[in-house]
């Protein structure tokens, strides 16, 4: 299942807290079975967050306001996968809405993107076998949330290239990964973006 954004249109873009964003758009998304993170599991996750919390990182931008996560809905989305280097200096910033940072963390890119009201999100990639166990899955999500906070990012793009069989143990683990990541990120970074892209394969004679 591959998440793909629907048609582009004109309208306002994402904004930092205190700035409005408008416009109505349509988008296609993969739909995975939804389930709320149960209270004990959520309490455990929040306890891990508290234990792992560290002193806030210093804002790398000249304007501290650029270190605030962006929020708000966009009428369309143009997602760019940045793998490092200086190609970002040549992006058409009037069209890009989100950058998935697949390369090394680049604070200069982050500041420039936020100055243009463009989100920068983490790449979320983890072996399926590492998220089967609920405790391991939660710990991985907590690590990603804390990394996003330290780097002043706006969310995460779950991009798992490993294919899973439909209705397999890994399939249901991915379902929980999406649900739990969304709940914890939205709680810890209000307005953050969580997107996913997975591959599934059907079992024989399914």
The listed range with the strongest mean pLDDT (2-6, 58-62, 166-170) is 58-62
> In whole angstroms, what is the distance from residue 13 CA to residue 114 CA?
11
> In whole angstroms, what is the distance from residue 116 CA to residue 111 CA?
9
- Give 174 or 204, the one with higher predicted confidence: 174
Q: Does the structure show a pLDDT above 90 at 56?
A: no
172: left (phi over 0), alpha (psi -120 to 50) or beta: alpha
Residues ≥6 apart with Cβ < 8 Å to 78: 5, 8, 95, 96, 97, 98
What pLDDT, on a 0 to 100 scale, did the predictor assign at position 74?
78
28 neighbors 2 (Cβ within 8 angstroms): no
Using the structure block, give the residue that is written with the tokens 């002043």.
Answer: 152
Catalytic residue numbers, as ranges: 161
pLDDT band at 10 (very low <50, low <70, confident <90, very high): very low
> In whole angstroms, what is the distance from residue 99 CA to residue 90 CA?
13
- Give 157 or 33, the one with higher predicted confidence: 157
What pLDDT, on a 0 to 100 scale, did the predictor assign at position 11?
44
Q: What digits encode the pLDDT tens for the residues 34-47? A: 455 555 555 555 55
- Radius of gyration from C-alpha coordinates of the chain: 17
Could you please report the per-residue DSSP string of 9-32? ------B-TTS-------------
Strands of the chain, DSSP E: 79-82, 98-101, 119-124, 155-159, 164-165, 193-197, 200-201
Q: Does the structure show a pLDDT above 90 at 137?
A: yes
Q: Which residues pair with 81 in a beta bridge?
A: 100
Q: How many CB atoms lie within 10 A of CB 142?
A: 22
In this structure, what token pair is assigned to residue 35?
């389930």
Phi and psi torsions of 3, nearest 5°: -75, 130
Q: Does the structure show a pLDDT above 60 at 4?
A: no
Q: What digits encode the pLDDT tens for the residues 75-127? A: 889 999 999 999 999 999 999 999 999 999 999 999 999 999 999 999 999 99
- Give 78 or 16, the one with higher predicted confidence: 78
> In whole angstroms, what is the distance from residue 159 CA to residue 156 CA?
9
Mean confidence (pLDDT) of the chain: 80
């Amino acid at each position: 299942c591959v998440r793909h954004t629907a048609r582009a249109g004109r309208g306002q873009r994402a904004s930092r807290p205190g700035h409005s964003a408008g416009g109505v758009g349509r988008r296609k998304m993969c739909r995975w079975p939804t389930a709320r993170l149960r209270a004990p599991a959520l309490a455990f996750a929040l306890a891990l967050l508290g234990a792992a919390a560290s002193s806030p990182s210093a804002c790398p931008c000249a304007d501290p306001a650029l270190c605030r996560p962006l929020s708000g809905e966009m009428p369309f989305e143009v997602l760019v996968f940045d793998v490092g280097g200086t190609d970002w200096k040549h992006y058409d910033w009037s069209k890009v809405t989100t950058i998935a940072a697949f390369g090394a963390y680049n604070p200069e890119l982050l500041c420039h993107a936020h100055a243009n009201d463009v989100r920068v999100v983490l790449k979320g990639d983890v072996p399926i076998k590492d998220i089967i166990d609920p405790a391991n899955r939660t710990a991985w999500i907590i690590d990603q949330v804390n990394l996003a906070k330290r780097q002043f990012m706006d969310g995460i793009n779950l991009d798992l290239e490993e294919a899973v069989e439909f209705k397999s143990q890994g399939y249901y683990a991915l379902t929980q990964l999406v649900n739990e990541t969304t709940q914890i990120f939205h709680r810890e970074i209000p307005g953050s973006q969580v997107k996913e892209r997975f591959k599934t394969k059907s079992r024989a004679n399914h």
